[in-house]
Amino acid sequence: MKSIMVTGCAGFIGSHVCERLLEQGYQVVGLDNFDPFYPKAIKERNMEGFRTHTNFSFYEIDLRKEIPVNQIVQKVDLVIHLAGKAGVRPSIDDPQSYIESNITATQNILAYMREKSIKKMAFASSSSVYGNTESVPFQEDFKLDEPISPYAFTKKSCELLNHTYHHLYGFDIINLRFFTVFGPRQRPDLAIHKFLRLMREGKSIPVFGDGTTARDYTYIEDTVSGILQACLYLDTHQSVYETINLGNCFPVLLSELIEVLGKEARVETLIDRLPMQAGDVQQTYADISRAEKLIGYKPKVSFAEGIKRFVEWFDCN
């Protein structure tokens, strides 16, 4: 495995993945369409550290449209498919755009791979597929027939689509269910980034519910390590179709997140209590035993340490 395609390369996770791959000597082909979900300038800054790297090639491509087979000249051995539209609440307002950006885009990537005889892919799924599952921690073999947002529905649909290509064409695929990834370059709409920005501006934080919702926050370095470990597994194994959780196995209450973030930022937090929103889940909690057994995944960065690093990054940018 020498050359890897990374879709969504200008995003939060994608840019970190590209940097790690380039550091390790891989040839990287990056795809992104600079979706206006948040400013293009932010994504361009994400790529500043590697945009001109000799081993990096970039294509601005909208995956909602079919990829011309000969448009990308480099041959790749594996695809890390991170591109897609994220966000639970926005998906409720505009479900069609999520169907196009997630399901249609994934179909187009799979079709491109088939045309180019690329048979290995690591796919970015989401903990959202678990919905309001009451059994914890979340295990990959849970029956998941009750999604509670269009975003969750599209991610589960993509997993099923991936299985179809595995069955019909022998693709080797690992679905990676991410659990609330955070750290430097985190999207500005996500809670930790948004809360810290409001704290620094002296504004109140909107809290939906009573603060008892919980998320399994996973630091970006650990998520990237899991992605690359999955790629190495795909490179050395055949007839693979797997789904694994990439979480931290340590849910944190929303009230605790705000407390730790405020303490690290050294500010007094102001709270604006609001009712729970449709599509929000009560908690996420990853069972990571399968990921540990399959690819050797072991998160190393604690929640508190991750928050400290994020605050340091935020205050320098």
Give residue for tokens 């993945």: 17
Q: Which of 5, 284, 2 is nearest to 123 (CA)?
A: 5
Contact 63, 109 (CB under 8 A): yes
25 backbone φψ class: left, alpha, beta (φ>0; ψ -120 to 50): left
Q: What ranges make up the beta strands (E) of the chain? A: 3-7, 27-32, 56-60, 78-81, 120-126, 172-178, 181-182, 205-208, 214-215, 218-219, 241-246, 252-253, 271-274
CA angle 302, 307, 309 (to 5 degrees): 95
Cα angle 31, 103, 115; round to 5: 60
Strand partners, 12: none
Q: Which of 112, 130, 151, 233 is the catalytic position?
A: 151
Catalytic, 38? Answer no
Residue type, 34: F
List the helix and strand counts (H, then E) for the chain: 11, 13
Q: Which amino acids are annotated catalytic?
A: 151
